[in-house]
Structure 1
Amino acid sequence: MSAPGSVLFKPIGIGRLVLPGRLFKTATAETRGTADGLATDAVVDFYVPIARGGTPLIITGNIYVSRDGKSAPLQLGVDDDDKIAGLAKVVDAVHAQGAKFFAQLNHCGRQVIPRFAQSPEAFSASDVKDLLTGTRPLPLTPAQIQRLVGQFADAAERCQRAGFDGVQLHSANGYLLSQFLTPYTNRRSDQYGGSLENRTRFIREIIQAIRTRLGPGFPVIVKMNGSDWLPLRDGLKTGELVEAAVMLQQAGIDAVEISVGHYESGFPMVRGTFDLCLRNMLEGSMRYLPPLRRTLLRVFRPLVTLASNLLWKGRQGYNLDYTPQFKQRLAIPVICVGGFRTREAMEAAISAGKCDAVSAGRAFIADPYFYRHIRDQQPGPLCVDCNACVGHLGAQPAECYHPLVKAEKDAMLARETLSGT
């Protein structure tokens, strides 16, 4: 059983919300909605076991706030009131198991294959082509930016009406809000480009709009990079990202979760091995790439796999390279995501003052009871960082696709069902 003195299971406050532990489920795209972005019973089925496992806080996969920000066919949306009832059903099921639930709000910006997302065009801060997808976005006008500010606030209000305990603004991993922060993708000369103050203006206006609409008591957190990891491009390093986080804290956010990288970066945000990942991508979302890019990726997949396996070897807590600098400057909780698998590594990160809490994604996909097993020091299905699940995201439901781990997971869930717990 768990040791009462463990720092991993001490309460932590996020705004006015108090959580009983410091290991959270980070956002992973569910790919379980309808074509119109409505929540389904399959979304409930994904989250209930994670909640049943005692997880204090679960963050949904990215939910689009406007139709032009949708990145995949079966992604959840919150762009209209017709989404509220389905999301409320998921929230109620999670709450019934005792977990708190945040909705991650997102706009994909240029990181989209329009044909895959069934979108006529893509938008971003500037018209900088995405080197992975080949998508060249249209730059948003100031009027369009203001419309999006309102749509983020509308989305947050719908999430509150659905019963969510808070929202997370996705400003990491090269999505739209991240594209505004990063000089490489933001080459504007108006009030939304140039200085760091200008490049944070869009997200600060969103935070202000949400606070005006929902008040100070509704938790709003931000996911952002600790490094853009864009060699030879004008990406952000940790120091400037910390300065951005200070501005966002002043704007009223309650916590930050630190990730790394853009789509163009490769795989620094997941790490591990990539044989199954790249194979699944080619069979899924990457089938919709422009013909030349699809052919090049298919031909050079063995080389890309080899390079990825060498560059991004799996290790626990890889974003701890960045979080201490955020901890030194921020008064709000700093959450670190990035390959955590063992209790010892999580406790060490928090005890050393490198972060206030940790989050995991693939570990919970492999073992929905990951939190319980870590807390009670019991064995469970262990993610082996094969990244097969990552390769399927957007095209197939979020699930463990490693045959041995999946078999262990299914057997565990079947035993739980038989026991009635």
Structure 2
Amino acid sequence: MSAATRSSSPFSKMAVLGIVLVGFLAFISLLYFLSAGDTGDQRNDGAAHASATGLNGYAGFVRLLEKENYDVTLSRTPGGLETTDLLILTPSLYADGEEIGRILNNRDYLGPTIVILPKWFANRPPRNLPGESAGEFKEGWVQLGGATQLAWTSELPGVFEFEHQIETLEETEAPNWSGIETAGELPTKTVAYAEENELHQPLITDGAGHTLALSVLGEEGSEYYEDAHWTIFVVEPDLVNNYGLARSENAEAALALVREAGYGGEYESVTIDMTLQGFGGADNLLTLAFRPPFLAATLCLILAMLIIGWRAFLRFGPAAVSGPEIAFGKKRLVSNGAGLIVRAKRLGLLAEPYADLSARRLSHRLGLTRPEPEAIDAALAARLPDEEPYSLRADRLREAQSPTEILRAAQALRELEGKLAK
């Protein structure tokens, strides 16, 4: 085997360090986005959620709350539904009423809740718009279709159940509303409202007395009435969505509803759920690795990786380059074969073949036609009368047990061959 040599590295230390740092930062970014559930830009999908900038979205509502110094969190994990902060739900048009009911029942003793009901069908702008018209649409904008009546509100459990209705006002009627010490006008004449329910308290009503926002009180004297946190339904989403917030009075109503749900401003932290709009996901293994009780093991693993990486980075000199492990040629082949036999501890298997090989070499040097032991002994007695016969040496080799005995017997045959060569 050839001696090891040193070859210069094709990369400098700074280049290797840069590659490692970029890879490490990319890995940390992957962990962050997976844990946050942010795997792509889905704001312009036509749905009504807290990241949507279209008419039916609530991105403006989020900015309004932040401007009012609320601590707003957009939750993309089911664990956000367990918060003790003020929770705002924005279910879809086709939500599961039983699922919403389970969430609301679980919230009774966790914290207050606001449910903003959907209303509009919305789509992305068509791709075949003329150039000038297409340029007027900003990222995230949508086209509103018709309003739809929700069926799942009647499937809500107990005190939360109500009938959802849609009404389009006449041309001469104004979509006015009033309540919670303010008044204003809706952006369209299509109004969503809830039918009256003795277990609910209207907070905002329109000119016809329809309930646009309500607080769930429950039956007076019941456990829910006495102990449960407040739940508010915003039945008319145009009060708080981007479409409605173009009017300042609607923005005042949106803030008033938040203060009402938060017991007059006691709650300064607001969590807006995104999972009901399909932005949620279960905890993944990478995220769990950075949470107790797995955090300790993860930190130890990272520390070990840093130590190994630093040791490799500061090693002495370039990497050693060695020759082939198995050299070419007959000598190397024989050496490797012998080494294999020695390692396998099968030296005894060589005794019989070596005795026969020695017989052929001796018969050749003695001028015999056949390597027969009797003929070799007779020829040796005539030529070297003082030497021990071949047959005795060969028998001693065949009967040897230990490696030392085998080597000594084989050496005796080899010495006999050497004397004949002189």
Tell me the TM-score normalized by structure 1.
0.28
Q: Which structure has the bigger radius of gyration?
A: 2
